[in-house]
Homo-oligomer: A and B are copies of this chain.
């Protein structure tokens, strides 16, 4: 209906749709108007509306599904994960820098988790640490357990932003984790890594923030050393 601060029709459409979400206080799950009705309302072709939808979907602000109307999305780290991966692949970020951020974030996370974790989370965390011990010979599975462990820890912090950030690193971690694992060739060094996770889980389960932070700190010392050994700048 109106001409916006024109940065291209698609940009304007993105703004209009975002505003529509805000102005109507749409919550996750709520559905948006159809492409056809939006294209009529904004006086643009369906092509433009579709490209705007795709953009918002790429940022996980809305969900698209064939046949169904677009819906407001819940928080998801998928997009951030891709962005971080891109940054690393294009040499704009290196792995050490990511580990510095992770250490900073996860030190805080483990403190909060030790204080706020639910009993279920404590149990699940211990179970994950234990499962890792049983998966020493299955690196792929071990890696997924490791990732789940850190993500669950973040959830236990009761701050979705921490969860988001930890999740954002999962994509690139999947690509670098095997490198770190290979640089821990001896059973002893591998056991140490598993034991550290168990220590963290136990400290969180015991609601002991100090001990949890100490274990997490050890975990990162060891991980960063492993990566350096592997020559990852």
Known contacts A59-B83, A83-B80: A75-B92 contact under CB 8 Å: yes
Give every chain B residue within 8 A of A60 (Cβ-Cβ): 83
Choose among B26, B55, B101 the residue that contacts A90 (Cβ–Cβ < 8 A). Answer: B26
Contact at A59–B75, with CB atoms within 8 Å? no
> In the complex, are the beta carbons of A89 and B21 less than 8 A apart?
yes
In the complex, chain B residues whose CB is within 8 Å of the CB of A59: 58-59, 79, 82-83, 86
Contacts of A22 in B (CB 8 A): 89
Contact of A93 among B27, B83, B160 (CB under 8 A): B160
24 contacts between A and B (CB under 8 A): A21-B86, A27-B90, A51-B54, A54-B55, A54-B58, A55-B57, A59-B59, A59-B82, A59-B83, A59-B86, A74-B90, A74-B92, A75-B83, A75-B92, A79-B79, A79-B83, A92-B160, A93-B160, A93-B161, A97-B159, A100-B108, A101-B161, A105-B105, A165-B165
Not counting A61-B82, A87-B160, A165-B165, a sample of 7 additional A-B residue pairs whose C-beta atoms are within 8 angstroms of each other reads: A22-B89, A59-B83, A59-B86, A60-B83, A61-B86, A75-B83, A93-B160
